[in-house]
Amino acid sequence: MDQPRPKQIFGAQVNGQGVELLIAPQETLLEVLRDRLELTGSKEGCGEGVCGACTVLVDGQPRRACLTLALEAQGLSVLTVEGLAQGGELSREQRAFIEHGAIQCGYCTPGMLMATRDLLSREPFPDEAAIRRQISGHVCRCTGYAKIVEAVAALGQAAPGEEQP
């Protein structure tokens, strides 16, 4: 048995709030989010970075939280699905997914929403191919992806120059 490695203090901004925790160095970001901070919106579907259900944004970049050590996010900002709504108001990605019927069982939804936020932050008006490419890192077994693609496309349909909400 390996000797347990000494615990370390992990500090980050999670959904805009400062957190400080004593964690083991091998704890993943997903474990810290789900088990310590009780932010269970991010899901584990495979534990090996394939299904995308655990995707969160670390300093704005999408990361598989199941393959990311929490300490890799040391001092950075972490955005999870729970941080999308502001002041209780759903974000535009959340509203679009709901209105377009893009959510069935909902297990892939948190990861899909984070992928959508990431895509739109880089590419405000993505075409269908770009949307499909982006969400192809996320497995959904319920929807056949059609309504998810529709939801994301609707978000990117405002005319260029028009202010994005």
Stretch that binds another protein, among 5-13, 71-79, 126-134, 155-163 (CB under 8 A): 126-134
Q: Are 134 and 145 in contact (CB under 8 A)?
A: no
Note whether 53 binds another protein by CB under 8 A. Answer: yes
Note whether 78 binds another protein by CB under 8 A. Answer: no
Stretch that binds another protein, among 57-65, 67-75, 141-149, 153-161 (CB under 8 A): 141-149
Exposed e or buried b per residue across 148-157, where buried means at least 16 C-beta atoms within 10 angstroms of its C-beta: bbbbbbbbbe
Stretch that binds another protein, among 67-75, 119-127, 137-145, 154-162 (CB under 8 A): 137-145
Note whether 133 binds another protein by CB under 8 A. Answer: yes
Q: Out of 25, 60, 75, 106, point to the residue binding another protein (CB under 8 A).
A: 106
Please choose, from the candidates 12, 10, 8, the residue with its C-alpha nearest in 3D space to the C-alpha of residue 79: 12
Residue 93, class by beta-carbon neighbours within 10 Å (0-12 exposed, 13-18 middle, 19+ buried)?
A: buried
Please choose, from the candidates 94, 88, 87, 78, the residue with its C-alpha nearest in 3D space to the C-alpha of residue 33: 78
- Which residue ranges make up the site for another protein (CB under 8 A)? 1, 34, 38-48, 50-51, 53, 80-82, 84-85, 90, 94, 97-101, 103-110, 113, 131-133, 135-136, 138-149
